[in-house]
Amino acid sequence: MPSQMSKISILLHKKDSEHIIKKLHESGLMEITKVKNEFFEEGKMNPLVEKCAHYELRLARIIDILKG
């Protein structure tokens, strides 16, 4: 008897989506369907998220410099 399925939504960064979707598809653990972008507007970033992304980039550069 098949197990009961649960519906989940996964939000992925565009640069990672192809690889992750391929791996999920190959695993056969879930059915994957493309959904509309109902809740997000492409190209518009929340100002707080934009600020966090800016700091993350700066920290990553500093870490790379310190690693030498």
User: Which tens digits make up the pLDDT trace of 13-68?
Assistant: 888 888 888 888 888 888 877 766 666 666 677 788 889 999 999 999 999 999 98
Q: Which domain holds residue 38?
A: 14-67
- The reply to whether 43 falls in a domain is yes
Structure tokens at 65: 């410099």
The count of structural domains within the chain is 1
Half-sphere exposure (CA, 13 Å, Cβ side) for 66?
6
Contacts of 38 (CB under 8 A, 6+ apart): none
pTM of the model: 0.41
- The reply to whether 25 falls in a domain is yes
- The reply to whether 8 falls in a domain is no
